[in-house]
Amino acid sequence: MVSSNYMNNNINLPKKGVTWRSTNKLVKIMNDSFYDLPCPVNLNAWWSFGSMLGLSLVIQLISGLLLSIHYTAHESMAFDSVVHIMRNVEKGWMLRNAHANGSSMFFICIYAHIGRGLYYGSYMDKTVWFFGVHLFLLTMAEAFLGYTLPWGQMSYWGATVITNMLSVIPVVGEGMLRYVWGGWTVCNSTLKRFYTLHFLLPFVMVAFVFLHLFFLHEKGSNNPLGIDSSTMCIPFHPFYTVKDLFGYVCFMFFFMYLVCVDPELLGNHLNYWPADPMKTPIHVQPEWYFMFAYAILRSIPHKAGGVYIMFLSIAVLYLIPSLHSGKYRSLCFYPFNQLVFWVLVASLISLTWIGARPVRAPYIILGQLLSVIYFSSLLLNPPSLWLWDKLVEYPELYVSRPVDLKWLKCLFIFKLLKLLRLKKGVRKWADKCVKA
């Protein structure tokens, strides 16, 4: 899977002998992907979240398969089957808590993984990035489908609100909504369709994971500096297996705390009431990992506009590679953009908190303000990258001149005047700097 040039040109990898790992074709694929995989020497802990996502996927697949043995996809029995799993099935409470909280752990890891990609410029490998965004959207769809299956109050009304978004699609929206429901409202047919899709989508996700890894290993991983590291690599084992094992230990500690000590920390107590189509909850809200999108949705007073803006807040990830305008991939070289990045993270966390608040003042205006900050930080990034490159670009004419604080000040003001196209000011300042 890894290109031969990438491996052969690297001076830091141990020379390969004839081993059973290199002679067996099937084992060789696994060996080149996980054992002798050449990795940049300077990867930090943020790269461990990719491995943690693999662990999360395995946990969800196994726990989901075991839960499907006892679950009944029928509107009159779904809620009772979940109660049966919790009370009567051996270790069923642990199984259900593991699956429910496993989705939260999955999203914690995936948000950290995306954040690392944005900060260090991993999105410049477009094929890998696009498959990652595909996986993110599939994960969101899978989580929504799974949230409806317990058929509690929040499950039912959450499904009603989210599926109603289809009605904003011109011409075909109403027809699509009726087809998804299988009737005139959320009903037994809806539950069966969602259960079928929830069971099948993980296999599609696994296929996308393999494609994501295939294209990643073909070119090699990015690194914190965002520079070419093909001649400065070390094998994945033992250097990064140890780091990933430490990440797994930290992951399992927090995961088992959620499963065994506080399983409802990230849940919603209203889902312990059976679904009642005749009684609407005061505050219908999704799971915490969708709260930021929900806060953006309700910040727009127009229904169709809110839905479009909400989807844009997620689909904007597809545009990130095209919006990059800097000379370097990583934000390590862009101090101002580091600040912009953390403003983006803060706005995302704040929107998540706003989404859990009631729809009333001052949360409405705060949600609108944070939505503006969220999109502004994304739009501000490209021009600020270009501007910083222009400001720090060193003229070839003065390469031999000694660099000191006074000279850097002169150079900075010269660049600023040039960017503002103040020709007279540029000439005067240049003469002053040369004389100095």
Is the residue at 398 inside a domain? no
**Long-range contacts of range 302-308, CB-CB < 8 Å, 24 or more positions apart?**
303/168, 304/168, 307/165, 307/168, 308/168
Q: What is the pLDDT of residue 237?
A: 85
> pLDDT for 270-279, tens place per residue?
888 999 999 9
Catalytic residues: 217, 221, 243-244, 287
For the chain, give the mean pLDDT. Answer: 87
More confident residue, 354 or 413: 354
Check whether residue 105 and residue 129 sit in a common domain.
Answer: yes
Q: Check the annotation: does 70 bind a ligand.
A: no
Check whether residue 55 and residue 170 sit in a common domain.
Answer: yes
- φ/ψ region of 220 (left if φ > 0, alpha if ψ in -120 to 50, else beta) reads left
Please check the confidence at residue 183 and state whether its pLDDT lies above 60: yes
Check whether residue 384 and residue 430 sit in a common domain.
Answer: no
**Cβ burial 374-383 (10 Å sphere, 16+ → b, else e):** bbebbebbbe
CA distance 144 to 198: 9
- H/E run at residue 39: strand 38-40
Q: What is the CATH number of the domain that holds 137?
A: 1.20.810.10
Cβ atoms of residues 156 and 277 within 8 Å: yes
CA distance 212 to 134: 10
Check whether residue 322 and residue 278 sit in a common domain.
Answer: no
Counting the structural domains of the chain, the total is: 3
Q: Check the annotation: does 212 bind a ligand.
A: yes
> pLDDT for 20-30, tens place per residue?
667 777 777 77
Cβ atoms of residues 347 and 374 within 8 Å: yes
Q: What is the pLDDT of residue 338?
A: 95
Check whether residue 347 and residue 216 sit in a common domain.
Answer: no
pTM: 0.88
Name the residue range of residue 275's domain: 21-284
Cβ atoms of residues 142 and 330 within 8 Å: no
Q: Check the annotation: does 283 bind a ligand.
A: no
Give first-to-last CA distance, the chain, whole Å: 58
Is the residue at 55 inside a domain? yes
10 Å CB burial of residue 93 (0-12, 13-18, 19+) is middle
Check whether residue 266 and residue 309 sit in a common domain.
Answer: no
Check whether residue 128 and residue 270 sit in a common domain.
Answer: yes
pLDDT category of residue 436 using cuts at 50, 70 and 90: low
Is the residue at 5 inside a domain? no
Cβ atoms of residues 377 and 351 within 8 Å: no
Quick count: other Cβ atoms within 10 Å of Cβ 373?
18
Q: Check the annotation: does 99 bind a ligand.
A: yes
Quick count: other Cβ atoms within 10 Å of Cβ 284?
17
Query: What DSSP line would sit under 146-160, residue for residue?
Result: HHHTT-BHHHHHHHH
Cβ atoms of residues 220 and 38 within 8 Å: yes
Check whether residue 271 and residue 307 sit in a common domain.
Answer: no
CA distance 32 to 26: 10
Q: What is the pLDDT of residue 1?
A: 43
Please check the confidence at residue 240 and state whether its pLDDT lies above 70: yes
Check whether residue 28 and residue 170 sit in a common domain.
Answer: yes
Check whether residue 242 and residue 300 sit in a common domain.
Answer: no
Check whether residue 293 and residue 246 sit in a common domain.
Answer: no
Is the residue at 113 inside a domain? yes
More confident residue, 262 or 17: 262
> pLDDT for 404-422, tens place per residue?
566 666 666 766 776 666 6
Helices marked H in 393-422 — which ranges? 405-419
